Structure 1
Amino acid sequence: MVEMTGDVVAELRGQVGCITLNRPRALNALSLAMVRDLMAQLLAWQHDDAVLAVAIRGSNKEGPFGAFCAGGDIRFLHAAGSSGNPEIEDFFTEEYALNHLIHTYGKPYIAFMDGIVMGGGMGISQGGTLRIVTERTKMAMPETAIGLFPDVGGGYFLSRCPGHVGEWLALTGQTIGAADALAFALADGFLESDRQAGVWDGLATQRFADGQAVQQWIQGQLHSAPEPQVAERAQIDRVFALTSVREMIAALEADDSAWAQETAAVLRKRSPLMLHVVLEQIRRARGMELGDDLRMERDMVRHCFYLRPGESETLEGIRALAVDKDHSPAWSPARIEDVDLQLVQQFFASPWPAYAHPLAALA
């Protein structure tokens, strides 16, 4: 029996391991304790023949569903990063190991991605074998707004979106809905939000021959999604295929279309340094396997907090958004054009020899 904190509720219902993220006041943002609960439970079920598949959902203040997971607990990250609390190291190492386990689980892993699905919420869903979205899904990797980068395997799954959508999503942090998530290969099927409870409850009453039968039964409940909403695919692919962030912002600001001007304005608000880092991340990850990508991201996140003591873009970004809430981060440097490209490359130098890397064991 795996002991739980209460923020993660796990139960075997019929032949399916069912997990509910139960921290609705924080939009189910992942704490270190939640990461550990999820890891322990998934490991316990992985080789249990009584568990044919795993399903995961979030909850809101009214009950199940309505929100999946808003990401990692950024208030904890700010407090730990500011005080030197070593648990910040444990958090990222264990979270990325959890992401890897989900991608390589070996049993169907079905994510009900209803409501907000951002950051760490993408990390615990993108590795699933069936990723279900609803008309309420709000999906994003918005890390550049807090001086971070799309981690939790974001380099891996964003770089595999069609065209240059991955660069666009990673740099801007744009929020998309169900139809675009499906079009961009970030979801597998659509289910109306008011039908989720019936499908979830059906997992407990159906009898299944094997894990594949569980997934096939759920797939039979899914509907076709509405048409994609993003109409600017040609512009996205043209601009975000450019070699550098400087070229991208110049192209956008020279284009008088509403989309280009709005996108340029968004990029001007993001951390200039991290925009350059993120573009390099996505471009490198496109040729990487998952384990290598997660090791790279573990290197990067270490540098986000410690490469420039007293000048962490991440601590400043979280301060402005979630601590002081002044929404006026003092980015350093302040302009895209002033970023030192040699500094960008330092984010990709591992602080550990290969044999001592915290994620050395990941395949």
Structure 2
Amino acid sequence: MNGAVTEPDLIVRREGAAGVIRLNRPKAINALTLEMARELDRALDTFAADPDVALILVEGAGERGLCAGGDIVGLYNSAREGGDLGKVFWREEYITNARIAKYPKPYVAFMDGLVMGGGVGIAGHGSHRIVTDKTKIAMPEVGIGFFPDVGGTWLLTRSPGEIGTYFGLTGDIMNGADAIHAEFADAYVPTANWAALRQALTEAPSGASAEQVSGIIARFAEQPAQGPAELHQADIDRWFGHETIEQIVAALESDASEFAQAALKTLRIKSPTSLKVTLKLLRAARHRASLEECLVHEYRAALQVFVSDDFVEGVRAAVIDKDRQPKWRPATIAEVTPEIVARYFEDRGDDELKFPG
């Protein structure tokens, strides 16, 4: 009996000089499952040991994006049932995020279309991050009772000024130009140029250096117009440079501009607890010495998120029922006490991440 061949959720193969890793859940915008994360890690092992692989090429199947994030529905179900998927998934995912940042071969991520949450984790730590005219990058976790993880606190605090604070708290979308400005990406390549660039990457010389790969990409790259966040850099620095959410909200309330009021409206619908936890994580990340150190603190916070009311309620409102009407607990910023926030920063001992090497 002949039937359609079912492709795996992660396609791993060599094309010329490139070790290709293709996320292959297009109907779910390639949302990352635990098994996909494990397969990705195994692929990195294989390609690191293969002398014929000059570089890694990460891409997403379909037209909608590289990766819309982690498998939120699976995490939601596990949280409701008192399971441990979050503990297992985030530990393995974060270890892989750190591994990508130190990968010994050029790691090229094609950040076309939607790249959110966990998608940033598998792309944003790569050595060569390509955005396009269709790129929409975001870390919208505060909208589901979470915070920017997968090393997001490290990336956001390496952005110029308060750009990272703005994107981390609002969850707003970066276009390709703003992603480069925020240091989430390295090169802008119009989608129309991708096929030719992809072919050139598969023909890279054996043992290609990072500089050689950059040179290949530069042949197809262009200079984009400034993005909206970059154009508002001075204002963003003024509004988001405060040490408390209350002060940030007050700064936005005092500015009648369309951009400020849009940011204020966005903050008002986010989880109050997540806003405070995110700001504290971001401020602390500025003083962290490494991505790994940030990931350890993110993991501690994520374990508390997994048992919090806001995570289950946020996913329900955004993904399950899609009513966009979350009932946050606490319901207001003023009700989020220092004691509540402190739970997300507790030392969890043996639950800390153990990074190889």
Q: What is residue 336 of structure 1 aligned with on the other side? A: 333
Query: What letter matches 1:360 in structure 2?
Result: K
Query: What letter matches 1:341 in structure 2?
Result: P
Q: What is residue 3 of structure 2 aligned with on the other side? A: none
Per-residue Cα deviation, 1:272-315 (whole angstroms, up to 9, x for no partner): 01100000000111111111110111100000122xxxx52111
Give the deviation of 1:221 after TM superposition: 2.1
Q: What is residue 317 of structure 1 aligned with on the other side? A: 314
Q: What is residue 88 of structure 1 aligned with on the other side? A: 86
Q: What is residue 361 of structure 1 aligned with on the other side? A: 355
Distance 1:5 1:79 in 2: 25
Distance 2:189 2:144 in 1: 32
Asked if residue 296 in structure 1 is aligned to residue 297 in structure 2, the reply is: yes
Q: What is residue 222 of structure 2 aligned with on the other side? A: 223
Q: Kindly tell me: are residues 362 and 144 of structure 1, through their superposed partners in 2, closer, same or farther at Cα, counting changes over 3 Å?
A: farther
More divergent stretch after superposition (82-91 vs 119-128):
82-91
Q: 2:168 pairs with 167, 170, 174, which one?
A: 170
Distance 1:261 1:11 in 2: 48
Q: What is residue 245 of structure 1 aligned with on the other side? A: 245
Give the deviation of 1:216 after TM superposition: 2.5
Give the deviation of 1:58 after TM superposition: 0.8
Per-residue Cα deviation, 1:128-187 (whole angstroms, up to 9, x for no partner): 111100000001100000010000000100011000111111100010101111111111
Give the deviation of 1:19 after TM superposition: 1.3
Q: Kindly tell me: are residues 323 and 135 of structure 1, through their superposed partners in 2, closer, same or farther at Cα, counting changes over 3 Å?
A: same
Q: Kindly tell me: are residues 209 and 87 of structure 1, through their superposed partners in 2, closer, same or farther at Cα, counting changes over 3 Å?
A: closer
Query: What letter matches 1:222 in structure 2?
Result: A
Asked if residue 123 in structure 1 is aligned to residue 128 in structure 2, the reply is: no
Give the deviation of 1:358 after TM superposition: 4.2
Per-residue Cα deviation, 1:185-218 (whole angstroms, up to 9, x for no partner): 1110011102212221233345445243334322
Query: What letter matches 2:291 in structure 1?
Result: L
Q: What is residue 71 of structure 1 aligned with on the other side? A: 69
Q: What is residue 350 of structure 1 aligned with on the other side? A: 347
Give the deviation of 1:66 after TM superposition: 4.3
User: Do 1:133 and 1:191's aligned partners in 2 also have CA atoms closer than 8 Å?
Assistant: yes
Query: What letter matches 2:34 in structure 1?
Result: L
Matched residue of 2:123: which SS?
coil
**Superposition map of 1:54-65 within 5 A:** 54-60=56-62
> Number of paired residues?
349
User: Do 2:128 and 2:185's aligned partners in 1 also have CA atoms closer than 8 Å?
Assistant: yes
Distance 2:125 2:351 in 1: 22
Query: What letter matches 1:116 in structure 2?
Result: L
Per-residue Cα deviation, 1:211-247 (whole angstroms, up to 9, x for no partner): 4333432232222222233332111101111110011
Query: What letter matches 2:315 in structure 1?
Result: I
Query: What letter matches 2:301 in structure 1?
Result: M
Q: Kindly tell me: are residues 348 and 362 of structure 1, through their superposed partners in 2, closer, same or farther at Cα, counting changes over 3 Å?
A: farther
Same amino acid, percent of matched pairs = 37
Give the deviation of 1:10 after TM superposition: 1.2
Distance 1:10 1:261 in 2: 45
User: Do 2:296 and 2:353's aligned partners in 1 also have CA atoms closer than 8 Å?
Assistant: yes
Distance 2:8 2:301 in 1: 31
Distance 1:48 1:187 in 2: 27
Q: What TM-score does the superposition give when structure 1 sets the normalisation length?
A: 0.92
Distance 2:127 2:251 in 1: 38
Distance 2:296 2:182 in 1: 25
User: Do 1:208 and 1:214's aligned partners in 2 also have CA atoms closer than 8 Å?
Assistant: no
In the alignment, structure 2 segments of 5+ residues that lack a partner are 1-5
**Superposition map of 1:80-229 within 5 A:** 80-212=78-210, 213-229=212-228
Q: Kindly tell me: are residues 271 and 358 of structure 1, through their superposed partners in 2, closer, same or farther at Cα, counting changes over 3 Å?
A: same
Query: What letter matches 2:21 in structure 1?
Result: I
User: Over aligned residue pairs, what C-alpha RMSD do you find?
Assistant: 1.7
Matched residue of 2:56: which SS?
strand
Q: What is residue 15 of structure 2 aligned with on the other side? A: 13
Matched residue of 1:347: which SS?
helix
